Chains A and B, each alone.
Chain A
Amino acid sequence: MLNLFCSLALAETIIPRDLIRQAMNHWRGVSSYSEMTMTIHRADWQRSMSMQAWTRGDKTSLVRVISPKKDAGSGTLTKDNNMWTFAPKINRIIKIPSSMMSQGWMGSDFSNKDVSKSTDIIDQYNHKLLETRQQNGHAVYIIESIPHEDAAVVWGREIIIIRDDYVLLEQQFWDQDNILVKTMKALEIKIMGGRTVASVIRMGKVATPEEWTEMSVQKIQFDISYDDSLFSLSSLRNPRR
């Protein structure tokens, strides 16, 4: 009943920007801890990695690989749009230069930017509600987001599809020639950690349907308080178990 009331209230005062912010907050919470598996799929091979991720607010996160053994301990720390990566093989922390931010994150189809700057879309884009649709008893909002003239963004526009319970169903990335380049889709939606969230997300380039990366969340907890030192370079290097 409350849910219904919420969605009704939402329907009356749809501000696309707020909707996106709500969706982001819904997914991250004030803070979150999650365990997930990332599967990178290619035409002739596939590879899975399991990892742990801690997030706080919009701009702070720490991700660490647990398996396979060869890569265990590798991780990335993002803080205020900066990204550092740690390679245990050589025991070094390296800051990713901005020129490399559009490269794949950990060899996946998610770019470093996708991972570190996903909330830029709130501040650096103009949003417009294109359509409201009914789907499986939910209202679904289709929002077009066009970056500001001066935004440091490679996309021409993005289409974001959000369900009335703030689950982000799909995000489409269109380039400046108005060609759909890649899409991120929620493949499975579940109640986890007390919230309805997308538990399986797939990112794939449109030109190469055989190549995609899937994030499958096994466990997620929201609103945990962390020590500041968790999001530091030394914690990136030395995991505290």
Chain B
Amino acid sequence: MNITLRMAWRNLWRHKRRTWLTVGAMIFSNLLLVFMISLQFGSYRMMIDNTLQSYIGHMQIQREGYNDNPKIRNSINAIIPLANDVRKKINSNRVAARGVAFAMASSEQRSFGLQIVGVEPEFEVNVSSLPGLINKGKYFSHINAKEIIIGSILARNLRVSVGDELTLLGGGRDGSFAAGVVFVTGIFDSGIASVDRSMAQLPMGYFQSLFGMGSHGHSIVVNAKDLTRVSVLQNKLTDIIKNNNKLVVLNWEILQPGLKQAIQADMASAWFMYAVLIVLVAFSVLNTQLMSVLERTREFGTMMALGAKPSRLGRLVITETFMMSTIGLLVGAALGYVLTYYLTIVGFSYPGMEEMAARFNLPDRMYPSISLLSIFLGPGIVFVFSLLASLYPALRLFFLQPVSAMKAV
């Protein structure tokens, strides 16, 4: 072992209590950072999953330009065969074709304008949580049924319940009048007011005939197994549709830019708090090392008189900090990992969360998300800042005069 390392190690344990206090501060802040960052990542994942699974999905195949200009004529021809083809090629059932149109829905007493989505009942359940949110009635019986499912607020506004009749009136893809009579078969309650107020679903077959769509539709929703596999799957899909240059594959970041922005905004505010924690730890390290340098002025003076260069002493001080920080990093990350790992199994909840989560169709427990990044990001930064904090005490040594230092009190 190098002499500097050995000296640093001994110096550390000459003041056991002080060293342990500083290391303890690091361990504590690292533990806190690992826990909070993992929880934060976990809640983002939950936000993304829930938002995307309710309707948008991870990816959509659309006609180029449809996302910016969602007009009924910007459609994909033979959409159901295409969806079948995609299903076969990626060997997954999380693929569903949709069509979108606008219509006025009228009950006996009232009329409201709403967005009508045509869906494949058999596959929609694999990509969207909406079918599972039907709390009255049931989902479609088959793809050509003259049935509609509507949101709970719309049902209340129209004063209809399951089994009642609704009249739809709108414009078809070919410019003709779209008019139809459908029966309310299910009422969903997503907890998102705008969806519950102004969205309805029809089975795709009937949707296509009602709106003069022929075999057209507007999007194919494709979900990956989890969020981390989105980009791989996106490449695969792009490859599948590359023969048709009018189609594009868009991922959720493009389909739902607000979600990414919300996450970034939240991340920014969270980092503010982390920064405070990190700066506090850095100052406590600065304090320890400065104390130890000032206290050991005579010792350093003697060493210099014996021929030690200031750079060597500086290295010594930094090595001491390095050792403390490494202990803090390893122990903090390890404890953080253990705590977080425990929470990924049992989940994390706080009082009142259950009620709130149930309203928004979220799981009632949060599960932190463990990754190398979430474990080492916080402690890593603490480590770097601790080393930076030891620079000042180390630099002070360069201004030490051996004679006066040896006489210092």
Contacts and interface: CB of A to CB of B under 8 A. Distances in A.
Interface of A: 40, 42, 44-45, 47, 68, 70-71, 74, 85, 87, 89-90, 92, 94-97, 99-100, 103-104, 106-107
Nearest to A68: B176
A90 B180 contact: yes
B169 A85 contact: yes
A103 B113 contact: yes
B108 to A, nearest CB: 11
B199 interface: no
Contacts, number: 52
Nearest to A98: B111
Interface residues of B, number: 17
Contact of A97 (B111, B177, B179, B181): B111
B104 interface: yes
B174 A97 contact: no
Report the 7 A-B pairs with minimum CB-CB distance, sorted nearest first.
A87-B179, A107-B171, A47-B175, A97-B111, A89-B179, A90-B179, A94-B106
B112 interface: yes
B175 A94 contact: no
Contacts of B167: 87, 90, 92, 94
A107 B71 CA distance: 13
B180 A107 contact: no
Contacts of B73: 42, 44-45
B180 A89 contact: yes
A94 B169 contact: yes
Contacts of A71: 176-177
Interface in B126-182: 167, 169, 171, 174-177, 179-181
23 contacts: A42-B73, A70-B176, A70-B177, A85-B169, A87-B169, A87-B177, A87-B179, A89-B177, A89-B179, A90-B167, A90-B179, A90-B180, A92-B179, A92-B181, A94-B106, A94-B111, A94-B167, A95-B106, A96-B104, A97-B110, A100-B113, A104-B171, A107-B171
B198 to A, nearest CB: 11
Please report whether the interface of chain A is mostly helix, strand, loop or mixed according to DSSP. Answer: mixed
A106 B110 contact: no
A47 B113 CA distance: 24
Interface in B164-213: 167, 169, 171, 174-177, 179-181
A95 B107 CA distance: 11
Contacts of A40: 175
Contacts of B174: 47
Contact of A106 (B106, B113, B177): B177
B175 A100 contact: no
Contacts of B180: 89-90
B104 A100 contact: yes
Contact of A100 (B111, B171, B177): B111
Nearest to B113: A100
A42 B73 CA distance: 10
A42 B174 CA distance: 11
Nearest to B167: A92
A70 B178 CA distance: 10
A94 B110 CA distance: 10
Interface string B89-114: 00000000000000010100011110
A95 B73 CA distance: 27
A107 B176 CA distance: 8
A87 B210 CA distance: 13
A148 B167 CA distance: 36
